[in-house]
Amino acid sequence: MSEVSSQKPVVNSQTEPVAAAPRPAKWTASDYWRLATDFFRAAGAVVWKDLAAELRSKELLSAMLVFSLLVVLIFNFALELERSRATLATVVSGVLWVTFIFAGTIGLNRSLAMEKDRGSLDGLLLAPVDRSAIYFGKTAGNLLFMALVEVIILPLLSVLFNLSLLHPLLLLVVLLGTLGYAAVGTLLASMAIHSRARDVMLPILLFPVAIPVLVASVKASAAILAAAGWDEIGPWVNLLIGYDVIFVAVAFMVFDYVVEE
């Protein structure tokens, strides 16, 4: 075995380390603060990177958007969508959520597959941050992309069905539902991309587990559009919040195991 024979000057012995300081033995409040800022800075960097790259290439968003429009079109012909006021709320709510879920699935799949194919997932994993920061950033990015598509689809559907979909409570439900879907979807997509049957694996894994989101979102949306009272809407909103909290927490805990090798 070798001995230290060469005496080249070693880097950074005189200057302060350029990268963030290592973890101390005893944690103080400022250490927790630093940990939190590291976490959010990394997660924010991931979101910013996804957004910046996407805005240049527009690969993902265009695919999601076009697909959504096609889904709406297909629904129009496949189901004789009645225009009667009585069932309109239910029908529109259903069309809305099926569209979001299909478009969202595409977005989730591609967003993570691109990272894996280019090998850039390693770049993320090499950074000295908690794995969950990567999860958080990826989920936020996916949520953002789905939201961008929804922002375009909602007014469109309003026009097509002659029914205002820009109700603030409805937007809240859309946000909560999308969050739940993105949270579980990002976790499962991270696994699905390694599978042989990669394209179908995500829907197979995700749909059964995301049923509560679908049910609650559709029911709540329909109730809101039908101008029902809070006791019809409330329980569904609570269910959505509960689902979001539970699954974000679970994802945080298991994400490490998904990305390590």
Partner 1 sequence: MEKPNRGLQILNIASAGLLVVATGLVFLYAPQERTMGEVQRIFYFHVPSAWVSFLAFLVTFVAGIAYLRGGNRRWDIVARSSVEVGLLFTVMTIITGSIWARPAWNTWWTWDPRLTTYTIMALIYVAYIMLRQGLEDPERRARFAAVYGIVGFISVPITFMSIRWWRTIHPVVIGSGSATAQGGFDMTSRMLVTFLFSLFTFTVLYFCFLANRVRLENLAERVEQLKAKLLSA
Partner 2 sequence: MLRFPVERGETALSMTISMIETRSLTKNFGLQRVLRGVDLAVAPGEFVALMGPNGAGKTTLLRILATLARPSLGQARVAGFPLPAGAGEVRRRLGVVSHHPLLYGDLTAEENLLFYARMYGVRQRAQRLNTVLEQVGLAARRRDLVRTFSRGMQQRLAIARAVLHEPEVMLFDEPYTGLDQDACAMLDGVLRDVAARGRTVLMTTHDLARGLALADRMVILSRGVIAYSARRGEIDPATFGQTYASVVN
Using CB distances below 5 to 8 A depending on partner kind, what does residue 48 bind out of partner 2, partner 1, none? partner 2
Q: Measured from the CB of residue 103, what is the shortest distance to partner 1 in angstroms?
A: 21
Q: Measured from the CB of residue 218, what is the shortest distance to partner 2 in angstroms?
A: 36
Does 118 contact partner 2 by CB under 8 A? yes
Does 100 contact partner 1 by CB under 8 A? no
Q: Measured from the CB of residue 220, what is the shortest distance to partner 1 in angstroms?
A: 11
Candidate list 216, 224, 225, 237; residue touching partner 1; CB under 8 A: 216
Give the C-alpha separation, 164 to 6, whole Å. 75
Give the C-alpha separation, 143 to 150, whole Å. 10
Q: Measured from the CB of residue 64, what is the shortest distance to partner 2 in angstroms?
A: 17
Return the residues of window 34-93 that contact partner 2 according to CB under 8 A.
Answer: 38, 41-42, 44-46, 48-49, 52-54, 56-57
Q: Measured from the CB of residue 38, what is the shortest distance to partner 1 in angstroms?
A: 25
Return the residues of window 4-33 that contact partner 2 according to CB under 8 A.
Answer: 4-13, 16-20, 22-25
Which is closer to partner 1, CB of 153 or CB of 192?
A: 192
* Sequential DSSP letters for the chain: -------PPPTTSSSPPSSPPPPPSS--HHHHHHHHHHHHHHHHHHHHHHHHHHHHH-HHHHHHHHHHHHHHHHHHHHTT----HHHHHHHHHHHHHHHHHHHHHHHHHHHHHHHHHTTHHHHHHHSSS-HHHHHHHHHHHHHHHHHHHHHHHHHHHHHHHT-----HHHHHHHHHHHHHHHHHHHHHHHHHTTSTTHHHHHHHHHHHHTHHHHHHHHHHHHHHHTT--HHHHHHHHHHHHHHHHHHHHHHHHHHHHHH--
Candidate list 62, 76, 120, 195; residue touching partner 2; CB under 8 A: 120
Using CB distances below 5 to 8 A depending on partner kind, what does residue 208 bind out of partner 2, partner 1, none? partner 1
Candidate list 133, 189, 239, 248; residue touching partner 1; CB under 8 A: 239
Binding site for partner 2 (CB under 8 A): 1-13, 16-20, 22-25, 38, 41-42, 44-46, 48-49, 52-54, 56-57, 118-120, 122-129, 260-261
